[in-house]
């Protein structure tokens, strides 16, 4: 079982240099990224059809409207973005072979790879990119998550056929991460109107059919531009058939009985026995998905009082969550980035589990019996289980906790109105730290306003400065100071890493997930997978 | 009979009109609306974004205007509109799901009747014997099983342990009947066993009522074989409540198999309706419920017509 770790320091500034000088082209050729698909040949032996047991199904086909998660949704392999990922999670050239910002980071010029085609044969040009950004930013056509991901993109401008400039709302180094295929998926503009029935992307696989709750069929895109190190055209697979199987035991059974060849996740309780009994029979990968944390509401309720936030944080035993919810998998965490990741922060101070201290604080504050409404999304299993554990722990020190499980719409309303005392929230892995530290806690972020509603001047200053700082070490120092402020003020109390475990039959070769679970990335994942008999 | 059938079909119209009004209005009573689902939390509060989305979705018009436009499109063009969530034609989406749902429901109910009628009959005929106790215990156990738990147990036992049956997925009977039946057995059994347990108890109770009646004593005193007394005379009368309940169960199954559909990856209308409610996809909810209500009423008409087959003395109004 492989645990994926990123291991590069200062990769951003080196990549930026390469992108700016055109050295990227030389580098990418060495890695096998020939610009013209026609020149490449198909691998003579590698192919096959992958049956993919997915934990969920798409809620729609329009990739600008529906979140096509790159770690679990089969449809995600239909798309690429201006930038791409490598296996370690670094941002590398994608549809754009290079990019450079202006001096004050308020605009970025992307130089597009020539000869890249959409699945319908239309060339990917600057006009297509511009139309994509306009469509995503329009609330009538872009989903809220997709719009939020490029909130800092003000507009796109066509410079010439293969050059596009993106203007930023505020100076930021995060643009390259924001235009990667997760979250920003490019679709053919001449097929926007039919995106809900037949989406057209630029990825290694193209759409064939979708029967909701039953099957998603994709086949190999013969004109995909990426090649392997030998110059063979990627992908190798002939087709992928996504088969949604929501129930974890059914999904795992489907893998074990050969109904599917690959599953994206399994239940936490199944991981250890499966590893013990079947590690020789299947490929198994554990990967970092994100994190889970408690949000304290600064707008309403008892946690406006810092003493109560402190008491609640002392009352939470991360170890209990580690065992009861995660069955010992993943790691307890006091920050969003795991050890080994370049953005893992050193020197972080966080409150320790101390129920006696929690009780004493509550008694001092004359707050024993304080009623707490703990909000959680009802359809999120891990969140629900964590909420139950947190409820028990808080109740044990003297809070009176009610877990408020709501489905999506009333849950969103409750967050917007601040109708909760605390909530259990999660985050998916963010390739740029501003997408966590900025989006979730920077007081001017729309999203932060509906979470804790916390405001700290120094925190905001640090985030604004980090956004404008190219040097990774300096950015890291700023985020360290910022996160320590957050850990002292407690808008959040970080609980645990979210990890997932995927598995595949031995017949699946050439596949390795990305460090944060990406199904497809530059030269790897499902782009390089193939079946053996 | 024909006149009665036509009369009942005409009765459908006011029933469906009432259902359409009810479902159209009730969806708006749910907390939150589709704008909250589509827009981000912050943007849902932005009056400009809200107004633009409401106009786009036709929600800026009064409810009664929206109702008549919606109804008019269905009646005149057969157009149920487009799903707010997927952007696809609702008519196509819903009617694609109905065969899978009906297929599962028919087989589950048939299976339940195949089990329940003999079991209930034997238990009544052998009342207060070990046979009766075994059947009663089995039926109470069947009613007590949580359906989702039983379904998962079936998957683990028959699919993983024995390797006899596939764990999930729907295969159309028109593509490969044999394969389709193999895929159907587990979900139909998971549904059918619980239905059978309920119907067994009902059949037993109905049979006990009939067995005590004078005509049964008369038949026996005339020297008719016991088998004939039970199966030709008593059971036919006892089946009337059984068939009524079976019809109701079938109607329930049409929209109420969300859990089984989720477990077995069965592309039925239950999951579609559930997801539509959660995402406040109003047109999809309204269309799905209307279609299901129509199906439910038609099923009950069929049940009423079946009474006359079972007992020709029954006069239909």
Q: Considering only residues A108 and B286, tell me which one the structure prediction assigns the higher pLDDT.
A: A108
Cα angle vertex B253, ends B280, B236, to 5°? 155
Min Cα distance B305 → chain A (Å) is: 36
Nearest residue of chain A to residue B165 (CA atoms): A257
Neighbours of A162 (CB within 10 A): 20
Per-residue model confidence (pLDDT) at position B13: 84
Per-residue model confidence (pLDDT) at position B43: 63
Q: Considering only residues A233 and B317, tell me which one the structure prediction assigns the higher pLDDT.
A: A233
Determine the average pLDDT of the residues in A223-235: 94
Determine the average pLDDT of the residues in B143-168: 92
| Average pLDDT of the residues of chain A | 91
Q: Which of A175-189, B28-42, B68-82, B124-138 has the lowest mean pLDDT?
A: B28-42
Kindly tell me if the per-residue pLDDT of A525 is higher than 60: yes
Two tokens, residue B175: 């593509």
Kindly tell me if the per-residue pLDDT of B66 is higher than 70: yes
Kindly tell me if the per-residue pLDDT of B213 is higher than 60: yes
Per-residue model confidence (pLDDT) at position B312: 66
CB of A417 closer than 8 Å to CB of B31:
no
Q: Which of B9-13, B141-145, B195-199 has the lowest mean pLDDT?
A: B9-13
Per-residue model confidence (pLDDT) at position B159: 94
DSSP states along A204-245: SEEEEEEETTTEEEEEE-TT---B-TTSEESP--SEEEEEE-
Provide ipTM, 2 decimals. Answer: 0.85
Identity of the residue in B160, B263, B272 whose CB atom sits nearest the CB atom of A247: B263
Q: What predicted TM-score, i.e. pTM, was given to this entire model?
A: 0.88
Task: Tell me the C-alpha to C-alpha distance, in Å, between residue B181 and each of A135, A177, A371.
Answer: 45, 49, 54
- Cβ-Cβ contacts under 8 Å, B168 against chain A: 243, 245, 250, 254, 259
Q: Using alpha carbons, select from A419, A459, A417 the residue that is nearest to residue A438.
A: A459
Per-residue model confidence (pLDDT) at position A89: 92
Q: Considering only residues B304 and A262, tell me which one the structure prediction assigns the higher pLDDT.
A: A262
Q: How far apart are the first and last CA of chain B?
A: 9
Query: Which of the four pLDDT bands, split at 50, 70 and 90, describes residue B315?
Result: low
Determine the average pLDDT of the residues in A188-213: 95
Predicted confidence (pLDDT) per residue in B3-47, tens digit: 777 887 888 888 888 888 888 888 777 777 777 766 666 666 677
Instruction: Identify the bridge partners of residue A494 per DSSP, sorted by sequence position.
Output: A293
Q: Which of A31-35, A99-103, A231-235, B106-110 has the lowest mean pLDDT?
A: A31-35
Per-residue model confidence (pLDDT) at position B223: 87
- Cβ-Cβ contacts under 8 Å, B271 against chain A: 213
Predicted confidence (pLDDT) per residue in A111-146, tens digit: 999 999 999 999 999 999 999 999 999 988 988 888
**What is d(CA A225, CA A500) in angstroms, rounded to the nearest whole number?**
31
Per-residue model confidence (pLDDT) at position A462: 98
Per-residue model confidence (pLDDT) at position A26: 38
Antiparallel, parallel or unpaired: β A49-54 and A239-244? parallel
Kindly tell me if the per-residue pLDDT of B105 is higher than 80: yes
Task: Tell me the C-alpha to C-alpha distance, in Å, between residue A323 and each of A1, A290, A466.
Answer: 20, 18, 36
Per-residue model confidence (pLDDT) at position A389: 98
Two tokens, residue A342: 């370049």
**What is d(CA A516, CA A351) in angstroms, rounded to the nearest whole number?**
27
Per-residue model confidence (pLDDT) at position A145: 84
> Which residue of B41, B47, B101, B270 is the best one to mutate when testing the A interface, meaning the one whose CB has the most A CBs within 10 A?
B41
CB of A466 closer than 8 Å to CB of A447:
no
Per-residue model confidence (pLDDT) at position B39: 67
Two tokens, residue A91: 């941002």
Task: Kindly determine whether residue B53 and residue A412, on different chains, have CB atoms separated by under 8 Å.
Answer: no
Place of tokens 């087959």: B309
Task: Kindly determine whether residue B88 and residue A59, on different chains, have CB atoms separated by under 8 Å.
Answer: no
**What is d(CA A71, CA A73) in angstroms, rounded to the nearest whole number?**
6
CB of A298 closer than 8 Å to CB of A454:
yes
Contacts of B208 (CB under 8 A, 6+ apart): B124, B127
Q: Considering only residues A37 and B87, tell me which one the structure prediction assigns the higher pLDDT.
A: B87
Min Cα distance B85 → chain A (Å) is: 7
Per-residue model confidence (pLDDT) at position A283: 97
Q: Which residues of A touch B (CB under 8 A)?
A: 59-62, 65, 139-140, 143-145, 147-148, 195-197, 211-214, 243-247, 249-250, 253-254, 256-257, 259, 379, 407-410, 412-413, 415-416, 446-447, 449-450
Percentage of chain A beyond pLDDT 90 is 84
Kindly tell me if the per-residue pLDDT of A198 is higher than 70: yes
Task: Kindly determine whether residue A247 and residue B166, on different chains, have CB atoms separated by under 8 Å.
Answer: no
Per-residue model confidence (pLDDT) at position B41: 64
Q: Give the torsion through C-alpha atoms of A19, A24, A28, A33, to 10 deg.
A: 60
Task: Tell me the C-alpha to C-alpha distance, in Å, between residue A259 and each of B159, B161, B166.
Answer: 10, 14, 7
Min Cα distance A62 → chain B (Å) is: 8
- Cβ-Cβ contacts under 8 Å, B261 against chain A: 213
- Cβ-Cβ contacts under 8 Å, B263 against chain A: 246-247, 250
Instruction: Identify the bridge partners of residue A242 per DSSP, sorted by sequence position.
Output: A52, A216
Phi-psi category of residue B87: left, alpha or beta, with phi > 0 → left and psi -120 to 50 → alpha = left
Chain CA centroid to CA A457, Å = 28
Task: Tell me the C-alpha to C-alpha distance, in Å, between residue A75 and each of A508, B31, B174.
Answer: 19, 31, 28
Percentage of chain A beyond pLDDT 70 is 92
């Amino acid at each position: 079982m492989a645990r994926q770790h990123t291991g590069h320091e200062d990769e951003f500034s080196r990549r930026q240099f390469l992108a700016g000088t055109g050295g990227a082209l030389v580098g990418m050729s060495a890695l096998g990224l020939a610009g013209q698909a026609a020149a490449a040949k198909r691998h003579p032996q590698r192919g096959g059809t992958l049956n993919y047991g997915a934990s969920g199904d798409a809620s729609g086909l329009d990739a600008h409207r529906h979140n096509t998660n790159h770690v679990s949704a089969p449809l995600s392999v239909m798309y690429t973005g201006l930038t791409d990922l490598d296996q370690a999670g670094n941002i590398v050239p994608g549809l754009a072979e290079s990019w450079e910002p202006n001096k004050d980071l308020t605009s970025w010029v992307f130089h597009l790879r020539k000869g890249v085609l959409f699945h319908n044969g239309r060339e990917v040009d600057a006009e297509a990119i511009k139309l994509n950004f306009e469509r995503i930013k329009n609330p009538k056509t872009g989903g809220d998550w997709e719009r939020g991901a490029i909130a800092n993109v003000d507009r796109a401008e066509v410079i010439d056929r293969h050059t596009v400039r993106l203007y930023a709302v505020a100076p930021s180094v995060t643009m390259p991460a924001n235009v990667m295929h997760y979250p920003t998926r490019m679709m053919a503009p001449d097929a926007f109107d039919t995106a809900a029935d037949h989406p057209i992307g630029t990825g290694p696989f193209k759409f064939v059919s979708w029967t909701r709750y039953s099957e998603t069929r994709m086949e190999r895109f013969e004109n995909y531009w990426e090649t392997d190190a030998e110059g063979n055209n990627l992908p190798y697979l002939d087709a992928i058939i996504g088969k949604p199987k929501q129930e974890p035991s059914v999904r795992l059974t489907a893998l074990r009985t050969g109904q599917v060849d690959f599953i994206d996740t399994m239940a936490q309780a199944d991981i250890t026995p499966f590893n013990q009994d079947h590690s020789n029979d299947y490929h198994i990968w554990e990967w970092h998905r994100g994190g889970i944390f408690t949000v304290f509401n600064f707008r309403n309720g008892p946690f406006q009082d810092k003493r109560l936030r402190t008491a609640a944080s002392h009352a939470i035993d991360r170890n209990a969550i580690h065992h009861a919810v995660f069955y010992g998998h993943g790691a307890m965490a006091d920050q969003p980035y795991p050890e080994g990741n370049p953005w893992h922060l050193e020197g972080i101070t966080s409150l320790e589990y101390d129920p006696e201290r929690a009780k004493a604080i509550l008694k001092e504050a004359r707050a024993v019996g304080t009623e707490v409404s703990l909000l959680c999304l009802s359809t999120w299993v891990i969140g629900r289980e964590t909420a139950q554990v947190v409820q028990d722990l808080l109740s044990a020190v003297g809070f009176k906790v009610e877990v408020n499980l709501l489905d999506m719409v009333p849950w969103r309303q409750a967050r917007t109105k601040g109708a909760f005392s605390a909530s259990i929230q999660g985050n998916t892995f963010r390739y740029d730290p501003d997408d966590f530290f900025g989006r979730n806690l920077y007081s001017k972020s729309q999203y932060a306003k509906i979470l804790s509603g916390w405001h700290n001047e120094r925190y905001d200053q640090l985030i604004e400065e980090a956004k404008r700082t190219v040097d990774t070490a300096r950015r890291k120092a700023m985020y360290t100071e910022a996160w320590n402020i957050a850990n002292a003020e407690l808008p959040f109390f970080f609980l645990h890493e979210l990890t997932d475990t995927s598995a595949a039959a031995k017949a699946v070769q050439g596949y390795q997930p990305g460090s944060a679970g990406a199904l497809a990335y530059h030269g790897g994942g499902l782009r390089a997978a193939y079946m053996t008999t | 009979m024909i006149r009665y059938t036509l009369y009942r079909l005409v009765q459908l119209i006011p029933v469906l009109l009432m259902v359409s009004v009810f479902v159209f209005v009730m969806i708006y009573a749910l907390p939150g609306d589709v704008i909250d689902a589509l827009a981000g939390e912050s943007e849902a509060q932005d009056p400009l974004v809200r107004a633009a989305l409401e106009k786009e979705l036709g929600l800026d018009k009064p409810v009664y205007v929206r109702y008549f436009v919606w109804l008019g499109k269905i009646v005149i063009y057969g157009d149920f509109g487009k799903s707010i969530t997927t952007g696809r034609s609702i008519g196509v989406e819903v009617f694609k799901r109905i065969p899978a749902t009906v297929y599962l429901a028919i087989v589950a109910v048939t299976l339940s009747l195949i089990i329940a009628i003999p079991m209930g009959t034997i238990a009544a005929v052998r009342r207060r014997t070990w046979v009766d106790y075994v059947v009663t215990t089995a039926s109470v156990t069947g009613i007590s099983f949580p359906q989702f738990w039983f379904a998962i147990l079936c998957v683990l036992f028959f699919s993983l342990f024995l390797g006899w049956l596939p764990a999930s997925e729907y295969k159309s009977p028109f593509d490969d009947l044999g394969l389709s039946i193999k895929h159907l057995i587990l979900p139909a059994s998971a549904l059918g066993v619980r239905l059978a347990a309920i119907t067994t108890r009902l059949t037993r109770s109905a049979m006990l009522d009939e067995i005590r009646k004078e005509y049964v004593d008369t038949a026996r005193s005339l020297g008719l074989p016991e088998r004939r007394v039970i199966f030709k005379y008593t059971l036919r009368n006892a089946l009337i409540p059984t068939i009524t309940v079976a019809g109701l169960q079938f109607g329930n199954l049409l929209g109420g198999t969300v859990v089984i559909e989720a477990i077995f990856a069965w592309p039925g209308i239950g999951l579609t309706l559930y997801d539509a409610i959660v995402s406040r996809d109003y047109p999809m909810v309204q269309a799905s419920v209307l279609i299901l209500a129509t199906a439910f009423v038609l099923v009950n008409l069929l049940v009423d017509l079946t009474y006359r087959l079972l007992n020709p003395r029954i006069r239909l109004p």
